[in-house]
Amino acid sequence: MATLQRIRRHDALERTGHWIHLGNMILLFLSGLQIHFATLNIFGSMNNARLVHFVDMYVFFFIGVFHVYQFFATGKWLTSGPTPGNLRSTGPSIRYYLFLSDHKPQAGKYSGLQIVTYLLLFAISVVMAVIGFGLYWPVRLSWVVSAFGGLMPLRQVHYVLAWVFMVFTGVHLYLVLTQPLKYTRAMATGSYWRRAQDGTTHRFPDRRRRVSP
């Protein structure tokens, strides 16, 4: 008879971190928008918007530091780190998502394209934090200000990168929601079920067993 395997995909740290990060990004983006468009009143006053931004920029920073720690301390780099093997599938994945090929490359936990994108997102987050702290401490971090040619260009780059985060979020949302919904649910519950690879074609199980990924 058919057997379902429970595939554990995201541990509690990963899930909690992801959803805190999402909430924090929404607050950072909205407060940033109000700082940019002073007439856009989202948080009641400019002081409130700046307070929200200043609190959440530290949350953003600590989520990033914690993520690096977690990546190495929990062995996440073994399943989600770049390797020549998983990076090879990046080109074929791009072709698949651009509808240029019907072949979706097999991947481990994440495809090469996901790994490259998440790494790029991390790099952009570091740049965003450096620029943001440059705006916050323009004297102490005067080298950041001069590297970008002054405070105004620094603000402009920070603003443009805010939209890069929004583009990432839009594409990310599109890609996760066009996959089977069980993968999105797994970001909330931690796991999903799949039919055991034992050649069976039955739809539902009469017994369930847990399998580590």
How far apart are CB 128 and ligand HEM at their closest, in Å?
5
- Establish if 32 lies at the interface with ligand HEM (CB under 6 A): yes
* Integer Cα distance of 3 and 20 in angstroms: 35
Q: Is 154 in the site for ligand HEM (CB under 6 A)?
A: no
Distance CA 16, CA 46 (A): 30
Is 57 among the residues that bind ligand HEM (CB under 6 A)? yes
> Which residue in the set 6, 8, 36, 182 belongs to the binding site for ligand HEM (CB under 6 A)?
36
| 175: Cα separation from own chain's centroid | 12
For the CA atoms of 181, 76, 172, 52, the dihedral, rounded to the nearest 10 degrees, stands at 110
Does 69 contact ligand HEM by CB under 6 A? no
Contacts 24+ apart (CB under 8 A), 32-35: 32/158, 32/159, 32/162, 33/162
Binding site for ligand HEM (CB under 6 A): 9, 14, 18, 21-22, 25, 28-29, 32-33, 35-36, 50, 53, 57, 60-61, 80, 110, 118, 121, 128-129, 132-133, 135-136, 155, 158-159, 162, 165, 168-169, 172-173, 176, 183-184, 187
